[in-house]
Structure 1
Amino acid sequence: MPHVIVKQWPGKSEQQKQQLADAITKAVTAILGYGKESVSVGIEVVQPAAWLDEVYNPDILGKWDTLYQKPGYDPSQF
């Protein structure tokens, strides 16, 4: 029962978010073999000024060993 959470900056349309959720669902079902009914996808919008405290520090820096795609940006930019 995969649940995928995407955290992103504001500025993407509802259509873009739905397309992303559909693509993630399709990939999860194809790669992991789950039915569509077993997959959920959430999209959380995080303001740029809050990125370090709400995303980078707890979800990226704090879990570096679990990231299969690591960010290429410099967190000191925020």
Structure 2
Amino acid sequence: MPHLSVRLYPGRSKEVKQEFADKLQAFVVKELGCEPNVVSVSFKEIAPEKWKDVIDDEIAGEDVYIEADF
């Protein structure tokens, strides 16, 4: 508890993704009051031309609070 799954376009380095994951983890720990060891973060790169189809399929059934406007 909790897991954050980030989908993004390809092209960012492992170092950039690690730094972002660290910041997400710190934010979740602060806001939800949990321990860092229970927070996990993953990344999945999706090509821009496949974005809408992949995202629509992957988030089907999830509660979306902010939607992108493509």
Question: Would you call these one fold, judging by a TM-score over 0.5?
Answer: yes
Q: Distance in 2 between matches of 1:70 and 1:52?
A: 12
- Unaligned segments of structure 2, at least 5 residues: none
Are 1:44 and 2:41 counterparts? no
**SS of the residue aligned with 1:49?**
helix
Runs of 4+ displaced beyond 4 Å? none
- Residue 67 of structure 1 corresponds to 64
| C-alpha RMSD over aligned residues | 1.5
Q: Scaled by the length of structure 2, what TM-score is found?
A: 0.85
- Higher RCO, 1 vs 2 (CA within 8 Å, ≥6 residues apart): 2
Which amino acid letter does the alignment assign opposite residue 21 of structure 2? A
Gaps of 5+ in 1: none
Q: Alpha-carbon deviation of 1:69? A: 2.6
- Work out the number of aligned pairs and report it: 69
